[in-house]
A and B are shown apart, each in its own frame.
Chain A
């Protein structure tokens, strides 16, 4: 079922959780594809299974059943450490609360994924990534010396540095004021246009969803409108 133009192929994904005696069906059979270079937003009310879907797409979790191919590689049945490798090479994360390590400078935060990759030329690559997000003059600042928008830019640089196949942004503007939020979205869309990295944004905002090429709406563990 591999398709050359697709970076994500999800086939009938389900995810069940045991909550005490009750079994919660967070995903009840989700099938879709995302093409390389596409910008997709995932929307849906809380409890719709959107976070679960994002976790599986980001290889933070594996589906209970169904197949998930990321970049042509089936990642539905991998071990924890294998998933770590996949995340390291193929997924860049951007979180609502930035998740930068407070003890480290912007530069060190950006370098972190490369350390786990065992890569070299760390500083040069991190500098390039920070320049790409417009923070070349802030590289030695710690997160608490940066504004929210600047912190999220550092996080974007960290997501970009491993040249991943997809970037998963989970409510990337949720902790930012509207101006900074708009800048971040513009930056992400720009980077997508320049590098062609597939961008998946989980959001509540229909304004942001409107800027993406395609919207996946989740409801009750299923995609609205089928595919």
Chain B
């Protein structure tokens, strides 16, 4: 008997008990659908996080103080360090560098209160972080040198305090009870993944140093943002920044009192986190696929028992062991492959629904159903059907024709 004939017979046999076949398939459908949709969501999340990290700016290096007990006599980062980094001779791959002070503060305006992060910095910050203002203008160099009480509001803060993002320039907000004049409102960056991008306010560095965020040393800053001149220059810029800061801080090799994090590092961390997440979700889906496979095995065993006489008859008529084995393997594979195909369809639907839910809650995750995950899930489900069909099929093929024909 050829494969095609076995296939046709398996269809006839399976359709003769539609409810049972349907329920058996359901296990595989759920398994395959969950594997594919989970992986799709995971990949969508990876893409979304990657896009958010890239939206922070391009070719950035984050320099911050570090150290602790391992480092003897650590020195803080200062504005002088920033000046030293903007040096075309010693650091040709550094395009620009800005220092920042960061803190959280309570901001009030006409009786409304908001908690936001305060970033104190200089005029170049907007360019480095790819920030744009939708209304007014960013902090200017004049305001920085004049220690002016100006503030640029993030769109989220503006919304919270005023319920609008337009026409706020010239109004006053109070940060830690000190009055600041609004000079601009930032465009929304969107994305809740990293939290507070829209929930920040920006003030001139000098103003913060003198009265808002006091650190021990008047020149001290929390972080230096360095922008490399090109994507290819990030590694070189990192090298140059390291050398300059080591020379300025007089640290020993291996005992740096600062830490440089590149955007690639961030991306790598995020990708590895979401990758683990995808694996975890896919694994949970995989478990349900195995459970579905066990369901197939269960039904196939019942089916073998029910059809003992049929097996005996087929053997009496000349079926070889292999014919019987193939018959049952074909049935279990057909079940699981159909389950796999329906599962792919269900996964597509589920991903669409989840994309819609994500979009409506402002986190743009676009689930990615790749051909690879579809193929993998379908092949895997076929393999599950084969694997869990082997035992029942062997049991069927090893029945003695005399015994099987006598079976009631």
Chain A interfacial positions (CB closer than 8 Å to B) = 55, 58, 60-61, 80-81, 84-85, 87-89, 93, 95, 99, 101, 103-104, 112-113, 115-118, 158, 162
Given contacts A101-B313, A103-B16, whether A115 and B320 have CB atoms under 8 Å apart is: no
Are A60 and B317 within 8 A (Cβ)? Answer: no
A81's nearest neighbour on chain B, judged by CB, is: B320
Q: List the A side residues contacting B316 at CB < 8 Å.
A: 58, 60, 87, 93
Interface of A is mostly: helix
A60-B402, A116-B1 known; A101 and B317 CB under 8 Å? no
A99, A103, A104, A117: the one contacting B318 at CB < 8 Å is A117
Alpha-carbon distance between A113 and B315 when the two chains are bound, in angstroms: 10
With A101-B310, A103-B16, A104-B12 as given contacts, are A113 and B317 in contact (CB-CB < 8 Å)? yes
Q: Does B309 contact A (CB under 8 A)?
A: yes
Question: Is the pair B1, A81 in contact by a Cβ cutoff of 8 Å?
Answer: no
Instruction: Return the contact of B309 from the options A85, A99, A113 (Cβ within 8 A).
Output: A99
B321 within 8 A of A: yes
Set of chain A residues within 8 Å of B405, measured between Cβ atoms: 60, 95, 99
Q: How far in angstroms is the closest Cβ of chain A from B158?
A: 72
Q: Which residues of B contact A (CB under 8 A)?
A: 1, 5, 12-13, 16, 309-310, 313-323, 400-402, 405
* One of A84, A95, A101, A117 near B315 (C-beta < 8 A): A84
Contacts of A103 in B (CB 8 A): 12-13, 16
Point out the residues of chain B lying under 8 angstroms from A85, CB to CB: 318, 320
**Contact residues in B for A89 (Cβ distance below 8 Å):** 318
A87→B13 contact, CB < 8 A: no
A104 to B5, CA, bound (A): 13
Partner of B402, one of A61, A81, A158: A61
Cross-chain contact A60 with B318 (CB below 8 angstroms): no
CB<8 Å pairs between A and B, sample of 12: A60-B405, A81-B322, A84-B321, A87-B315, A87-B316, A87-B317, A88-B318, A95-B405, A112-B314, A116-B1, A116-B314, A116-B323
Closest chain-A Cβ to B311's Cβ sits at a distance in Å of 11
